[in-house]
């Protein structure tokens, strides 16, 4: 249950923060979600990771598909991913997910320290 | 333990955030770059903005009609609104390019790429690019009303920039991780300097000096003659100049300094040039004058040109603009059409400066020490400290070469004198041409045009055709400026300029057509001194022979000529090679190649294998003839192509035919055989690599993105014939950057294309959509709207209102 809660909260906060923050708004979102909704062990990383990976892939897909993936095909050569557009979506998701996951872990640790002090 | 985990995860989190926000080497900041909120995904866009927009400073609404090629047709109520909108729309489609080109012009590349840019930037500063731009800006401000138009253009660009969020920045900014800066009038001047440098920045003075010092004047005159034994000049040889009163300065008695120079600055591409031609009513099938132009430049994306229609109640002009400058550069209106080719005149000279001492605060000139001025150039380097370069100026111009730049002597240097520094007003010339209604107004507009000198071709609905070789030309004594000159001798200074009225020109010549393709401007009877500085000798004869070949011409003939792949050099050289080659002991494979070559029709069409065979043979042969020059530690230029062929045919025993490396003494027939053997090896390699020897596949024409190394944004292996020196001058990465044909009916009917697309965004479907049309030799039918209500063929209509 807390996993779903954290997942949803990360997504909502990410949507809100990136309206006015740069790309690292997703990190702030994952950090806060992690601090509010504590997760155990590896899920502290993987839940925000999945949330933002999904968010970025879906968002990128929406932007790119409406333009026939013209730029995605070129960036997939530039980066270099041998022109594989799916690899580019995957990379985009992982970069977003990774930063969110790490921020989520940090949020959890802050929460852990503070709850310990409070108790 | 919890604290430890907290600190560790905190550091990891912040560290990763910073790492993904930072450009590491060639890798863009991946977090920023790939984020869908602000990164490249936001550039997946083929749009043109909103149907209704606001623009600060407009006096009345402006209507913009986009056609299916994304060409904006702009209808404004006055010039200020027109050029403000031009700036605004150009920025929308070409912002990165317009800024990058002016950075390149000003020597500010290091700001973007780091230390790798320093040599280039120093070269630009030492060429006086900024100095020239500042002079041009002063001249522009002298013309009443012009500054206000340039300010409107600038503000239009800046209105666009100021409403951008980082997410909206063109993809190149995201790739290199920097941000756009505001546009300025100086940037417009810098862009015009960039063109001046591209088209008139070349010279051979120091290389020629090296040659003369090493081999003597007699050999020099044989290899680099003022005139070739063929000449079909821009101004027809029939033109009589005898009614002019001409004063040419007398030849200086003083000696030229004979220096050896090991390294010279990079030169513009030698193929930078163009074709233009026009037929008058008498030679036109329909009785309307017809005009064509195709400027040959490096093939890049975003394209150097941006097509537009610019209309006010007073004028209505269509053509291509240079992103960063106001108005149309090559185009037409309801009355006239015009185009340009490079005049390729020697307008850059070098003077050896003698400094008083190591401080370089004074130099010897006219029997006295004269003070220098110094300009400290600040080159900002990305990720490094600012680099300071002191450039000394004399009355000639900047001392480009000195102890710290490609030289080593403390008390001497080479100063550049260049018409690019005179402060021309090409901007005014273009704006007046845009509105010109007849020959007289065309002639009046040209006088502002100083550098790079151009062959301005003209035709009108009234039926006039004309051609002016326009620029500001130093009036030189015979021999002046061919070699490094003596900076202490005032007789070596430029003594004045050819009067505007004496610039070579022709109106309605008897032959019924005018043309130019960077060949010799005139025959030797032109009373001013002009020498060969790399003139075309092949395209001009093919073009002129074509127009002499029949009575009447139409638009289809013009298109055919643009796409003409006839290789006149091969036609003049290959039969000689085939006749001279020693066939004793030649292999069966070699016989096959010789047979193929003898059957080739001299056309560099896509599927011709003979063209590839000849090209390899010629390339090997040319290098073999001039091996003395390429193996030298000094900088020496090969003699021009025509003269190389001339030497092979007429001086087969000349000492230069000998190959230095070998013990025996070679003559031309030996070289012909040896180079053929080398070419055979090349052909085998090519065939094994590509599977065939077809010209188009071998040539592999490409259009590259302006940023070196970003091949993902370029277009490669384009199926197009031609080559340098051919009317269809498409070589590997150089060629016709805009092809335009205009029939001067009422209203004019135009056909045009360029190897790119209107959008500078690699994510737009309009980024490279014209490339295939261009390669196929096809054209777009230009929609020349006569009024704002003719909008049925338009795909998007935008109204730009004054910002409340």
| Contact between chains at A99 and B31 (C-beta distance less than 8 A) | yes
Could you tell me the two tokens for B138? 């002063």
A56/B34 Cβ within 8 A: yes
Q: Per mean pLDDT, which of A37-46, B90-99, B704-713 is the most reliable?
A: B90-99
Cβ–Cβ contact A56 with B under 8 A: yes
The confidence score (pLDDT) of residue B531 equals 87
Determine the pLDDT at residue A118: 53
> Best interface-test mutation with B: which of A11, A56, A78 has the largest number of B CBs within 10 A?
A78
Choose from A106, A112, A118 for mutation: most chain B CBs within 10 A: A106
Span B469-488, average pLDDT: 95
What phi and psi, each to the nearest 5 degrees, are found at residue A85?
-65, -35
A119 touches chain B (CB under 8 A): no
Which pair of tokens denotes residue B204? Answer: 């051979």
CB atoms within 10 A of CB B598: 12
- Which residues neighbour B539 within 8 Å (Cβ) at sequence distance 6 or greater? B275, B517, B518, B519, B725, B726, B727, B729
- The CA distance from B566 to B542, in Å, is 8
Percent of chain B scoring above 70 in pLDDT: 100
Order the strands of the B348-354 sheet from edge to edge: B399-401, B412-418, B348-354, B485-486
pLDDT at B493 over 70: yes
Over residues B363-376, mean pLDDT: 97
| pTM given for the model | 0.96
Domain that holds residue A30: 2-118
* Chain pair A-B, CB pairs under 8 angstroms: 124
Q: Are residues A71 and B762, on separate chains, in Cβ contact within 8 Å?
A: yes
Answer yes or no: is pLDDT of B229 > 80.
yes
Report the distance separating Cα B398 and Cα B125, nearest Å.
Answer: 9
Predicted pLDDT of residue B146: 97
What is the domain count for chain A? 1
* Chain B residues lying within 8 Å of A113, measured CB to CB: 2-3, 6
Q: Which among A63, A71, A106 has the least Cβ separation from residue B13?
A: A106
Q: Which positions ≥6 away from B314 have C-beta within 8 Å?
A: B79, B435
A42 touches chain B (CB under 8 A): no
Pairwise CB contact (< 8 Å): A71 & B38: no
Give the pLDDT band (50/70/90) at residue A119: very low
Taking the CA atoms of B556, B558, B563 and B566 in sequence, report the sign of the dihedral they define: positive
Nearest residue on chain B to A103, alpha-carbon basis: B13
Nearest to A112 among B2, B31, B767 (CB): B2
Question: Average model confidence (pLDDT) for chain B?
Answer: 96
Residue A105 distance to chain B (closest CA, Å): 7
CA B18 to chain A, closest CA, distance in angstroms equals 9
**Could you tell me if B737 and B303 are in contact, meaning their C-beta atoms sit under 8 angstroms apart?**
yes
Binning pLDDT at 50, 70 and 90, where does residue B90 land?
Answer: very high
Mean pLDDT of B566-591: 96
**Cβ-Cβ contacts under 8 Å, A75 against chain B:** 40, 712
Give pLDDT, residue B253.
Answer: 87
Asked if B36 lies within 8 A of A110 by C-beta distance, the reply is no
pLDDT at B199 over 80: yes
B712 interaction partners in chain A (CB closer than 8 Å): 74-75, 77-78
pLDDT (average), residues B386-414: 92
Mean pLDDT, residues B34-58:
96
Q: Would you list the domain boundaries of chain B?
A: 1-34, 568-602+609-693
At B520, list the tokens.
Answer: 């010799």
Mean pLDDT computed over B657-667: 94
Mean pLDDT of B785-798: 95
Instruction: State whether residue A24 sits within 8 Å of chain B by CB.
Output: yes
Cβ neighbours of A22 in B, within 8 Å: 21, 32, 35, 37-38, 166
For residue A10, the distance in angstroms to the closest alpha carbon of chain B comes to 16
Alpha helices per DSSP H over B581-636: 588-599, 609-625, 627-630
Beta bridge mates, B75? B63, B311
The answer to whether the peptide bond before residue B500 is cis (omega within 30 degrees of 0) is: no
Residue among B416, B425, B272 at smallest CA distance from B344: B272
Q: Do A96 and B34 touch (CB under 8 A)?
A: yes
Percent of chain B scoring above 90 in pLDDT: 93
Specify the DSSP class assigned to residue B494: -
Q: Name the band, by pLDDT with cuts 50, 70 and 90, for residue B407.
A: confident
The reply to whether residue B3 touches residue A25, judged by beta carbons under 8 angstroms, is no
CA distance A1 to chain B (A): 24
pLDDT of B262: 85
Q: Do the chains contact at A102 and B38, CB–CB below 8 Å?
A: no
Mutate to test the interface with A, among B1, B13, B764 (most CBs of A within 10 A): B13
Band (B408; pLDDT cuts 50, 70, 90) = confident
| pLDDT band at residue A116 using 50, 70 and 90 as cut-offs | low
- The predicted complex's ipTM stands at 0.96
Asked if B571 and B604 count as a contact pair (C-beta separation under 8 A), the reply is no
pLDDT digits (tens, 9 = 90+) for B746-780: 999 999 999 999 999 999 999 999 999 999 999 99
Which of chain B's residues have a Cβ under 8 Å away from the Cβ of A109? 2, 5-6, 9-10
Element (H, E) at A11: helix A2-20
* pLDDT for A113: 85
For residue B410, pLDDT over 90 is answered with: no
Q: Stretch B279-286: mean pLDDT, rounded?
A: 98
Give the best residue of B712, B715, B764 to mutate against chain A (max A CB count within 10 A).
B712
Taking residues B317-341, report their average pLDDT: 98
Which residues of chain B does A108 touch, with a Cβ-Cβ cutoff of 8 Å?
A: 9
Report how far apart, in Å, the C-alpha atoms of B433 and of each of B69, B118, B185, B295, B740 are.
25, 39, 21, 18, 17
Per-residue pLDDT reduced to its tens digit, B532-563:
888 999 999 999 999 999 999 999 999 999 99
Task: Closest CB to B9: pick one of A22, A70, A109.
Answer: A109
- Give the pLDDT mean for A28-56: 93
User: Does residue A80 have a cis peptide bond before it, meaning omega lies within 30 degrees of 0?
Assistant: yes
* Banded model confidence at residue B274, pLDDT cuts 50, 70, 90: very high
Residues shown for chain A? 119
């Amino acid at each position: 249950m807390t996993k779903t809660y954290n997942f949803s909260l990360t997504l909502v906060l990410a949507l809100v923060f990136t309206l006015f923050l740069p790309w690292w708004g997703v990190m702030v979102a994952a950090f806060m979600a992690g601090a509010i909704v504590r997760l155990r062990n590896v899920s502290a990383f993987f839940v925000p990771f999945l949330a933002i990976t999904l968010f970025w892939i879906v968002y990128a897909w929406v932007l790119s598909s409406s333009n026939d993936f013209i730029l995605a095909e070129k960036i997939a050569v530039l980066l270099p991913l041998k022109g594989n557009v799916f690899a580019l979506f995957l990379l985009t998701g992982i970069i977003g997910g990774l930063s969110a996951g790490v921020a989520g872990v940090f949020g959890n640790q802050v929460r852990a320290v503070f709850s310990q002090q409070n108790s | 333990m919890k604290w430890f985990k907290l600190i560790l995860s905190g550091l990891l989190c912040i560290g990763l955030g910073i790492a993904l926000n930072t450009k590491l080497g060639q890798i863009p900041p991946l977090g920023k770059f790939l984020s869908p909120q602000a990164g490249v995904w936001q550039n997946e866009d083929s749009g043109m903005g909103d149907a209704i927009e606001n623009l600060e400073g407009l006096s009345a609404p402006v209507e913009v009609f986009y056609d299916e090629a994304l060409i904006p047709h702009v209808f404004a109520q006055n010039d200020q609104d027109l050029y403000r909108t031009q700036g605004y729309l150009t920025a929308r489609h070409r912002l990165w390019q317009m800024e990058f080109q002016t950075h390149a012009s000003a020597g500010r590349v290091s700001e973007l790429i780091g230390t790798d840019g320093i040599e280039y930037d120093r070269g630009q500063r030492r060429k006086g690019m900024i100095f020239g731009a500042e002079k041009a800006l002063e001249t522009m401000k002298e013309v009443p009303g012009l500054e206000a138009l340039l300010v409107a253009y600038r503000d239009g660009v800046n209105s666009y920039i100021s409403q951008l969020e980082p997410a909206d920045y063109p993809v190149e900014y995201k790739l290199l991780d920097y941000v756009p800066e505001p546009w300025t009038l100086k940037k417009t001047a810098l862009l015009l300097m960039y063109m001046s440098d591209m088209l008139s920045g070349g010279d051979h003075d120091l290389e020629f000096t090296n040659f003369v010092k090493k081999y003597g004047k007699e050999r020099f005159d044989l290899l680099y003659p003022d005139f070739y034994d063929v000449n079909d000049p821009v101004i027809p040889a029939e033109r009589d100049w005898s009614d002019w009163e001409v004063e040419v300065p007398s030849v200086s008695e003083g000696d030229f300094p004979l220096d050896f120079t090991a390294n010279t600055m990079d030169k513009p591409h030698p193929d930078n040039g163009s074709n233009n031609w026009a037929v008058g009513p008498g030679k036109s099938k329909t009785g309307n004058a017809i005009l064509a132009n195709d400027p040959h430049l490096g093939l890049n994306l975003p394209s150097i040109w941006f097509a537009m229609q610019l209309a006010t109640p007073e004028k209505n002009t269509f053509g291509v603009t240079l992103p960063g400058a106001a108005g149309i550069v090559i185009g037409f209106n309801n009355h006239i059409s015009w185009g340009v080719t490079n005049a390729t005149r020697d307008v850059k000279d070098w003077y050896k400066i003698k400094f008083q001492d190591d401080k370089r605060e004074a130099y010897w000139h006219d029997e006295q020490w004269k003070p220098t001025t110094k300009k400290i150039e600040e080159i900002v380097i990305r990720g490094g400290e600012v680099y300071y370069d002191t450039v000394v100026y004399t009355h000639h111009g900047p001392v480009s070469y000195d102890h710290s730049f490609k030289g080593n002597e403390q008390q001497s240097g080479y100063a550049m004198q260049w018409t690019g520094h005179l402060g021309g007003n090409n901007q005014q010339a273009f704006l007046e041409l845009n509105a010109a209604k007849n020959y007289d107004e065309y002639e009046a507009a040209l006088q502002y045009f100083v550098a790079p000198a151009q062959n301005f071709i003209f035709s009108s609905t009234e039926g006039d055709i004309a051609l002016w070789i326009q620029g500001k030309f130093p009036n030189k004594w015979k021999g002046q400026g061919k070699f490094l000159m003596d900076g202490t001798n005032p007789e070596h200074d430029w003594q004045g300029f050819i009067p505007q009225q004496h610039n070579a020109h022709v109106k309605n010549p008897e032959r019924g057509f005018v043309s130019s393709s960077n060949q010799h401007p005139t025959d030797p009877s032109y009373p001013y001194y002009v020498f060969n500085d790399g003139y075309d000798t092949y395209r001009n004869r093919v073009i002129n022979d074509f127009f002499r070949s029949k009575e009447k011409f139409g638009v289809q003939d013009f298109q055919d000529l643009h796409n003409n792949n006839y290789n006149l050099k091969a036609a003049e050289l290959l039969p000689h090679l085939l006749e001279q080659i020693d066939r004793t002991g030649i292999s069966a494979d070699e016989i096959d190649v010789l047979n193929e070559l003898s059957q080739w029709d001299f056309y560099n069409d896509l599927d011709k294998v003979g063209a590839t065979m000849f090209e390899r043979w010629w390339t090997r042969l040319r290098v073999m003839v001039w091996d003395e020059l390429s193996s030298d530690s000094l900088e020496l230029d090969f003699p021009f192509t025509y003269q190389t062929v001339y030497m092979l045919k007429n001086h087969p025993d000349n000492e230069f035919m000998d190959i230095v490396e070998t013990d025996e003494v070679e003559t031309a027939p030996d070289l012909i055989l040896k180079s053929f053997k080398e070419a055979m090896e090349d052909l085998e390699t090519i065939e094994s690599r590509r599977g065939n020897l077809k010209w188009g596949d071998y040539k592999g024409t490409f259009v590259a993105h302006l940023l070196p190394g970003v091949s993902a944004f370029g277009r490669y292996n384009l199926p197009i014939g031609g080559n340098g020196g051919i009317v269809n001058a498409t070589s590997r990465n150089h060629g016709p950057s805009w092809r335009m044909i205009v029939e001067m009916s009422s209203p004019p009917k135009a056909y045009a294309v360029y190897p790119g697309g209107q959008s500078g965004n690699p994510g737009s479907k309009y980024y490279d959509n014209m490339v295939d049309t261009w390669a196929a030799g096809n054209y777009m039918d230009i929609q020349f709207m006569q009024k704002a209500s003719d909008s049925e063929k338009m795909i998007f209509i935008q109204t730009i209102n004054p910002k409340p």
